[in-house]
């Protein structure tokens, strides 16, 4: 009998432990790791690094590379010069220029302002959300369709992504009405029609939020393979859209005492460096990891000043800022969160590049094949190269052919 009791006790202990481990892997334990940090080596997570200088010619001179996304061995590049409309180009896997996607104007397939871009990897399509239309192109840059959004219900659609055949999701914002947080659109012959609304359960209009506040641009989507995640900086949950297109929790931030009150996040705050709160600013996801860009306010351990460039009314200015950003790596398999120390103190964030001795790395995009991409302007790449103690032969070959005014250089890293 005693033997049976011991076995039952072990069974329940093991079952409870297994269940706890399973539950804990959806919790991102931010409050537990504030104040800690370590430098992570790229070689522990990635198996290869490749540099792709984008071809420079009179047809395509990139003023400010904003996005680079992989499309079937090619790269879709977004050029968003300060004060000008974005344009989109396709380069091949070696960086050779292929074609432009659409153009600026008011004719068929033309746009005046693009708010967001998404990729349909199953049907090999590119979605550009402009005002007031959505444009679809194939991966060769050919126009497939353009449709007007027939109804916005008084909201401003901020970001639109594919969620199924002829189905699109849009994050929305409004200065006055906070009843909804997202729309589901269906495409028919007439245009894009709202077929479902997603309630904003926080009922933020009751808090007396300023019309020009942070909260008027609430929701953000990011894509993990064919899944669409939804999150907000002031919320504690990363949601995913399930097969029924219902929102359900995927991951939850445990911010503890560092969680910013909604009223504070919604106000017109200027000096985040002195704040005592922590919140995510950007999230992307691979098979095993969440790559999270945190604003840590006064809890950031390695603050430093830097200059930020801005353009207002055609005038370019520079402002001094204090860096309080920390990158975090959440392991989906173990449930562990690591805050990353700066590999080059007070200068660069991300992974120490011990694979080829090149630039420090942090992904700005991750493909469905776990291919991570970041980029550098040509002059910045050369500046970093001159400071490297032991650059690889590949780095040297790229730098020797590069001029400071050339188009940017992609850095492509394959995860293990």
pLDDT attached to residue 215: 46
Cα end-to-end span (Å), the chain: 50
Residue 303 within any structural domain of the chain: yes
Name the strand (E) or helix (H) holding 290. strand 289-295
pLDDT attached to residue 395: 95
Cα distances (angstroms) measured from residue 21 to each of 18, 27, 104, 334, 336: 5, 10, 52, 8, 11
Local confidence band at 269 (pLDDT 50, 70, 90 cut-offs): low
129-138, 179-188, 216-225, 295-304 — which is least confidently predicted?
Answer: 216-225
Domain CATH number, residue 91: 2.120.10.30
The position carrying tokens 């950007």 is 282
Higher pLDDT, 106 or 242: 242
Question: Given phi > 0 = left and psi -120 to 50 = alpha, else beta, which region is 217?
Answer: beta
Q: Which residues contact 362 (CB under 8 A, 6 or more apart)?
A: 291, 327, 349, 350, 351, 374
Q: Which residues constitute the domain of residue 248?
A: 27-415
pLDDT attached to residue 415: 98
Higher pLDDT, 107 or 310: 107
Residue 313 within any structural domain of the chain: yes
Residue 10 within any structural domain of the chain: no
Residue 146 within any structural domain of the chain: yes
- Per-residue model confidence as pLDDT tens digits over 328-363: 999 999 999 999 999 999 999 999 999 999 999 999
pLDDT tops 70 at residue 14: no
Among residues 161, 141, 52, the alpha carbon closest in space to that of 99 is found at: 141
Higher pLDDT, 214 or 159: 159
Mean pLDDT of the chain: 88
* Cβ(276)–Cβ(297) below 8 Å: yes
Residue 1 within any structural domain of the chain: no
What tokens appear for 412 in the block? Answer: 């492509």
Residue 6 within any structural domain of the chain: no
Per DSSP, helices labelled H in 209-299 are 262-266
* Cβ(273)–Cβ(303) below 8 Å: yes
Residue 68 CB neighbour total at 10 angstroms: 21
Q: What is the pTM of this model?
A: 0.90
Residue 82 within any structural domain of the chain: yes
pLDDT attached to residue 19: 47
pLDDT attached to residue 11: 44
- The rounded Cα 148 to chain-centroid distance in angstroms is 26
- Per-residue model confidence as pLDDT tens digits over 274-329: 888 999 999 999 999 999 999 999 999 999 998 887 766 667 788 888 999 999 99
Tally helices (H) and strands (E) across the chain: 5, 29
- Per-residue model confidence as pLDDT tens digits over 45-100: 999 999 999 999 988 999 999 999 999 999 999 998 877 788 999 999 999 999 99
**How many domains does the structure of the chain reveal?**
1
Higher pLDDT, 261 or 244: 244
- The rounded Cα 309 to chain-centroid distance in angstroms is 21
- Per-residue model confidence as pLDDT tens digits over 372-387: 999 999 999 999 999 9
Q: Which 3-state string (H, E, C) describes 144-186?
A: EEEEEECCCCCCEEEEEEEEECCEEEEEEECCCCCCEEEEEEE
* Cβ(100)–Cβ(86) below 8 Å: no
Residue 49 to residue 412: CA distance in whole angstroms: 6
Residues 162-166 have a mean pLDDT of: 95
Residue 8 within any structural domain of the chain: no
Percent of the chain with pLDDT over 90: 69
Higher pLDDT, 110 or 88: 88
């Amino acid at each position: 009998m005693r033997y049976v009791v011991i076995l039952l006790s072990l069974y329940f202990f093991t079952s409870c432990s297994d269940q706890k481990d399973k539950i804990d892997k959806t919790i991102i334990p931010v409050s537990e790791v504030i104040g800690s940090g370590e430098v992570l080596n790229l070689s522990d997570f990635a198996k290869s690094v490749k540099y792709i200088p984008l071809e420079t010619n009179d047809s395509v001179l990139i003023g400010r590379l904003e996005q680079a996304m992989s499309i079937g061995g090619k790269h879709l590049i977004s050029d968003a010069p300060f004060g000008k409309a974005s344009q989109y180009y396709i380069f091949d896997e070696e960086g050779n220029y292929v074609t432009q996607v659409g153009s600026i104007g008011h004719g068929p397939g033309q746009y005046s302002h693009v708010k967001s871009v998404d990729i349909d990897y199953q049907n090999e399509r590119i979605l550009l959300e402009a005002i007031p239309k959505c444009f679809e192109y194939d991966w060769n840059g050919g126009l497939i369709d353009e449709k007007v959004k027939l109804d916005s219900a008084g909201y401003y659609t901020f970001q639109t992504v594919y969620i199924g055949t002829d189905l699109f999701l849009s994050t929305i914002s409004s200065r006055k009405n906070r009843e909804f947080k997202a729309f589901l659109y269906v495409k028919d012959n007439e245009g894009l029609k709202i077929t479902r609304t997603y309630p904003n359960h926080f009922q933020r209009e009751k808090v007396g939020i300023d019309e020009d506040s942070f909260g008027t641009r609430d929701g953000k989507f990011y894509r993990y393979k064919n899944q669409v995640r939804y999150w907000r900086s002031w919320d504690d949950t990363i949601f995913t859209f399930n097969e029924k297109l219902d929102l359900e929790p995927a991951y939850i931030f445990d911010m503890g005492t560092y969680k910013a009150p909604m009223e504070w996040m919604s106000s017109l705050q200027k000096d985040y460096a002195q704040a005592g709160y922590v919140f995510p600013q950007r999230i992307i996801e691979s098979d095993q990891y969440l790559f999270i860009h945190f604003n840590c306010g006064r809890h950031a351990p390695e603050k430093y000043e830097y200059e930020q460039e801005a353009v207002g009314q055609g005038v370019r200015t520079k402002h001094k800022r204090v860096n309080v950003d920390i990158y975090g790596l959440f392991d989906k398999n173990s449930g562990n969160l690591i805050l990353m120390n700066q590999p080059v103190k007070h200068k660069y964030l991300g992974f120490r590049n011990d694979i080829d001795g090149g630039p420090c790395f942090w992904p700005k995009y991750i493909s469905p094949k776990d291919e991570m991409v970041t980029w550098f302007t040509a002059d910045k790449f050369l500046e970093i190269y001159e400071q490297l103690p032991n650059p690889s032969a590949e780095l040297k070959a790229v730098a020797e052919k590069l001029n400071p005014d050339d188009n940017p250089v992609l850095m492509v890293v394959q995860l293990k």
